[in-house]
Each structure stands twice: as C-alpha cells, then as structure tokens.
Amino acid sequence: MNSWQEILKPNEIVKDIHEIDFAQLKSRGIKALILDIDDTLIPRQVNDISPAVFEWVTTRKEEGFKLCLASNSRHPIRVKYIGDTLEVPAMALGFKPLPFAFWRSLKALGVKPEEAAMIGDQLFMDILGANLVKIYTIYVKHLTPETFLPRIWMRQAEEWLLNRI
Ligand SMILES: [Mg+2]
C-alpha cells in the first residue's frame, strides 16, 4: 500500500456513531475519544443535542471513556454550547488536518496518541489529521446530504479514495 493511501485510510468505517463497537475499542487500549461535531455528532445546521446523542455521550462516560470535541467550526459559541451541554471539553477553529487540534485534544484528555480514537466524517480533515498524529481513526458517514458543489466534489473524492484503500 502506498503511503498516501496509508495516511488517508481510516481504521474503521461505520454508518454512524451508534454503530461503533466500544468494547472492541477498549480491548485495543483506547481510553479517550476525540469527536468531530458537524455531521459526526449532529447535523451541521442543527444547534441542539438530541436525546439520543446525549444518551450516547453519557453511556461512553459511564463506560469510562474520556471525551473531547475537536471542531473546525468558525462558530466558537455554538461549539462551546454543545460542549457545555454535553459536559465535555470542546474546541473550535481546529484547522484539522493540521496537528494542533489533535495535540490539544490529547493534552486535554491526558492520553497518548495510541490511547485515543478520532471519530469524524471528513477524510481529508478528521482522518488524515489523526492518522498523521498516529491516533486510531473511525470514519462515519456524514449526516447531512451535500448540496454545495465543492462539498459534493469533496464527498466524491472521498468515495473514490475509499474504494481504493
Ligand atoms: Mg464534520
């Protein structure tokens, strides 16, 4: 496998956050979850947390996982509101795939890269960035259908790549 395929390849591909096998993650030594917000946790036009997502986060905490939110969002108030609602640290303006958001997340969580998993819907940001920092990666299908042409192209590029890696 080429190195470009290696750095874009998620360790797991799932339909959504509810499909992830957390017992399996624990057995791999994963102790902390870094979560993308938009189109991973909640659809990007939605500002509120659904009971299902709230329960999902609560269950992860009960299982002993540490959580934090790492978003590229340019709306820090929205990100803070979501983090405060879920009672987890939340960072906006992450500039993923640059490593800073991942480094900050690992620091906030107090874990090593190999003890963390990144869950996100964007191959070129969440997955690429976390792979570069050697964090376990879980790619989820985006929650919102794309209508904006550049985003449609990006999703087509993701599909194309995923079929080859
Ligand atoms: Mg996203």
Domain range 3-162, CATH architecture: 3-Layer(aba) Sandwich (3.40)
Q: For the chain, which residues make up each domain, given as ranges?
A: 3-162
Distance 103 CA to ligand 1 centre (A): 18
| Contact present, 128 and 120 (Cβ < 8 Å) | no
Q: Torsion angle of alpha carbons 121, 150, 50, 162, nearest 10°? A: -20
DSSP secondary structure letter of residue 153? H
**And the tokens for 135?**
């964090």
- Report how far apart, in Å, the C-alpha atoms of 71 and of each of 3, 28, 29, 133, 165 are: 26, 25, 24, 16, 25
Distance 38 CA to ligand 1 centre (A): 4
Distance 39 CA to ligand 1 centre (A): 5
Q: pTM score > 0.75 for this model? A: yes
> pLDDT tens, 120-158?
999 999 999 999 999 999 999 999 999 999 999 999 999
Distance 80 CA to ligand 1 centre (A): 16
> pLDDT tens, 85-115?
999 999 999 999 999 999 999 999 999 999 9
Tokens 């900050």 map to which residue? 104
> pLDDT tens, 30-83?
999 999 999 999 999 998 899 999 999 999 999 999 999 999 999 999 999 999
pLDDT at 6 over 90: no
